[in-house]
Structure 1
Amino acid sequence: MTAPALPFSKLRQARGLVFLSGEMPFADDGGIPEGIAAQTALVLRRIGATLATVGLGLDDVVQVAVHLVDGADFAAFNAEYRQHFRDPLPVRTTVVASLLAPGARLEVTVTAAQPD
């Protein structure tokens, strides 16, 4: 896992929980895909890859916080989001944020639980 350029940890573990910093839709080449569905898919794939570094996956996610730039993206975001999570779904908070990185339409952070 590459250390972030900013002063925060990408992932922290504490008492059986795994906390991830916010993930934005930056591709490996630094570009950002067009549209909320493609950006959501990329963000959730990247979150899954980060969780895999500690032996977890999206099925272990118990809480999700989402920041959308545009509330009009809510339905399309939900449609893509639902393709990545199975029941029981994580609890979730979704807010509209006015400012993210240029071109990014969302930022997502999660908390996962280690298996009992």
Structure 2
Amino acid sequence: MPKEIIFSEKAPAPIGPYSQAVKVDGTLYVSGQIAAELAASGDIKAETGMVMQHIGHILGAAGLGFANVVKASIFLKDMNDFAAVNEIYGSFFTSEPPARETVQVAKLPKDVNVEISVIAVE
């Protein structure tokens, strides 16, 4: 089972020993994306929008788009941000949104407020 490492220069480079995404048998696994440069701003909508843009760039590097996403995982620093994150996240899925879970966690990398990962299929 060959795997293909996917990388987009338009999204942040990994900050550890992982790939932005890995494609296996027509399924793309996108690592959790963050917007460290916006975390200190306190603007959860802007941070979420940038995270989704990063995901879009990675999907594009694999020849896919948001319509190919079948599963998403959202990790929040504060569940009180759920509605704001949901508003921005939802704007990227105009029809047939993917399966998803949203959880609050104690801490995220680079002290960001939101991290999102997705799985997409060809």
Calculate the TM-score normalised by the size of structure 1: 0.87
Within 5 Å, give how 1:49-88 maps onto structure 2: 49-88=57-96
What is aligned with 1:23? 33
Q: Percent identity?
A: 33
**Which 4+ residue blocks in structure 1 deviate beyond 4 angstroms?**
none
Describe the superposition over 1:15-43 as per-residue Cα deviations: whole angstroms up to 9, x where unpaired.
211001100013xxxx2253111111000
RMSD of aligned residue pairs (Cα, Å): 1.4
Equivalent of 2:38, from 26, 32, 37?
32
SS in 1 for 2:46: helix
Q: Which residue number in structure 2 is paired with residue 94 of structure 1?
A: 102
Question: May I ask how many residue pairs the two structures share in their alignment?
Answer: 110
CA distance in 2, matches of 1:111, 1:73: 23
> Which residue is 1:9 aligned to?
19
* CA offsets 1:51-74 (integer angstroms, 9 cap, x no match): 101111111111000000001000
Alpha-carbon distance in 1 for matches of 2:102, 2:66: 18
Give the structure with the higher percent helix.
2
**Which of the two has greater strand per residue?**
2
Partner residue, 1:47: 55
Distance 1:96 1:8 in 2: 23
Structure 2 unmatched ranges of 5 or more? 1-7
